[in-house]
Amino acid sequence: MNKEILINVAPHEKRIAILEDRKLTELIVERPDQNRVVGNIYKGRVVNVLPGLQSAFIDIGLLKPAFMNLSDMQERSLRYRSEDGEEALLSDEQPDTRRRLRIEHLLKKGQSILVQVIKEPLSTKGARVTNGLSIAGRFLVLVAGTDFIGVSKKTRDRGERRRLKDLIASLKPDGIGFIVRTVAFQKSDREFETEIKNLVGRWQEVVKQTEKKEAPALLHQEERITSATLRDLFTDAVSRVLVDDRKEYQQIQKVIGRTTPELSNRVIHYVESQPLFTVFNVEEQIENTLARKVFLKSGGYLIFDYAEAMVVIDVNTGRSQGRRNAEETIFNTNMEAAREIARQLRLRDLGGLIVIDFIDMMVMENRRKLLEEFHNILKKDRAPFNIGKISEFGILEMTRKRVRENLIHSYTEICTGCSGTGRIFSKASVVSSIDRFMGYVRNILGFKRARLVVSSALAAYFLEDRKTVLREISNAAGIKIDLETDPELPMDKFKIFDKDKKQEFTELF
């Protein structure tokens, strides 16, 4: 698999595209008005403790108080899990002991506490935080408040795990734990020593700032998006990084030259006249990603629907036709859909509860194969996920952790015409409303003439039958109607004024 990273820089936004065999799999967007806060460490102040929800709100200096659940305090203190799926256990404490803890015993209103953002503020919600603090480096992750040493679960070599643990133990100071990342395997002792020294220095600066500053205060800021992405993703598996901005290219070369100089020749300044994202067909792939319907090569398609509580994905055979039997066609379509869904989850950065309606399969073995294939593909995803079983109706439930705002929210906004439902009142329904309003104007207000302002689409509807509909409304209400068109008006909206447009009647009812 050929993996590439493309970086496009413009005055209004910076975009990082991850391509696998020229196919867009991840898109990270940063804009000046969207400050990234995940990874930041703050000295916060507890503003409210909610025993009923086992949660607390903490002022960290952002527009909205941050949210912390008891599970964020417990789990992060017992387990570290990075954005790219690396995981390590940090404690041997038993679950029964943790269940007895209550948040009102741990936090009090007005108390100062060090927290780290693990989820960006989304929509009306504030940031989500934890008291398990960590600072990520290239090879290691420093974890505060523990002496435990963990190794990424992505390696099964027990000998290598033991070697790395012994090495870190000999180099680290007391009271600070470390997680060895996957990219650290086969690195030299000198590189580990340098990384530990750098991370400990950054942590000591956090401690120093804690003593100096009053809550709420920012103590540690995560690296900018380009540096953080390259830190986590730029490995030997990436064939090249293309950057279309000279200043950004020079900054990247500085960072790479300091951390992984052996990869610096893979960073290329793109200087061609044709836009970088256009050459690699990224723009078109972004547009397709924002669509509700995603087509499969076989002729089938996926439908993505977004609800408040979940994302629903429907798999359809469409024009897909099998040469042998229906079960085989359905199985092949489902397998293709599973691969595309896994890609779309990463690309759209969908999170929370996700419900997938696969096409019903009668053969149990086919359901097992589909679930196994889907699970294996999802292992490429950097975001933590949990996956259930396929029900007898073909329904699969899963959860995925979203760290940043998903692509739909980044690129789109709620339609003012339909308020995000995707539906508006039909022309016939709007005509019925106009009929009722004209009755109010005539019978309640006593006007015998009114001016009706409608959209271009509704005006065309009225004129289709030589104003028969408009005449029927006029006769039924006993009022003369002057029709006027407003191209800016949504199709299912209308306004009724007096004949001189001095008073609007639709606001009165």
Architecture of 427-498 per CATH?
3-Layer(aba) Sandwich (3.40)
Residue 270: per-residue pLDDT: 95
- Distance between CA atoms of 152 and 80, rounded to whole angstroms? 10
Phi, psi of 436 (to 5 degrees): -65, -45
The CB-side HSE value for 483 (13 A sphere, CA atoms) comes to: 19
* 488 Rama sector, left if φ>0, alpha if ψ -120 to 50, beta otherwise: alpha
What are the angstrom distances between the C-alpha of 8 and each of 13, 125, 340?
Answer: 8, 29, 25
**Reduced 3-state DSSP string for 112-125:** EEEEEEEECCECCE
Pairing verdict, β 310-316 and 352-357 = parallel
Per-residue DSSP letter, 504: B
What is the location of CATH 3.30.420.60 in the chain? Answer: 3-35+224-282
Q: Which fold has domain 40-74+100-220?
A: OB fold (Dihydrolipoamide Acetyltransferase, E2P) (2.40.50)
CA dihedral of 197, 201, 207, 210, whole degrees rounded to 10: -150
Rounded Cα distance between 157 and 167, Å, is 16
Phi-psi group of 446: left, alpha or beta (phi > 0 → left; psi -120 to 50 → alpha; rest → beta): left
Q: Which residue type does 117 have?
A: V
Q: Where in the chain is the domain with CATH 2.40.50.140?
A: 40-74+100-220
The pLDDT score that the predictor gives to residue 418 is 76
Query: Considering the entire predicted model, what is its pTM?
Result: 0.72
- Are 297 and 336 within 8 A, CB to CB? yes
pLDDT mean by block of 10 residues, the chain; 509 residues: 92 90 89 80 95 94 93 58 47 46 90 92 85 89 89 76 88 90 78 89 94 93 83 86 94 84 91 93 89 90 89 87 75 94 91 92 91 91 88 90 75 76 86 90 87 90 77 89 90 88 78
CB 159 within 8 A of CB 443: no
Say if residues 306 and 421 touch (Cβ distance below 8 Å): no
Cα 339 to Cα 344: distance, rounded to the nearest angstrom: 9
- Report pLDDT for 76: 47
Where in the chain is CATH 3.40.1260.20?
A: 427-498
Contact 38, 120 (CB under 8 A): yes
Give every CB contact of residue 384 below 8 A, 6+ residues apart in sequence: 81, 85, 87, 400, 401
- What pLDDT is attached to residue 30? 83
Q: For residues 118 and 58, is the Cβ–Cβ distance under 8 A?
A: no
Rounded Cα distance between 161 and 141, Å, is: 15
- CATH 3.40.630 residue ranges of the chain are 291-411
For the 291-411 domain, the top CATH level (class) is: alpha beta
Q: How many whole angstroms separate alpha carbon 220 and alpha carbon 205?
A: 8
Domain 3-35+224-282 fold is Nucleotidyltransferase; domain 5 (3.30.420)
> ∠ CA(254), CA(259), CA(261), 5° rounding?
75
38 to each of 121, 384, 395, 471, 494, how far by Cα in Å?
9, 16, 33, 61, 45
- Phi and psi (nearest 5°) for 362? -85, -30
| Helix, strand, coil in percent for the chain, rounding step 5 | 35, 30, 35
pLDDT at 386: 92
Residue 115, amino acid? V
Q: What are phi and psi of 32, to 5 degrees?
A: -55, -35
* Residue 302 burial by Cβ neighbours in a 10 Å radius (0-12, 13-18, 19+): buried
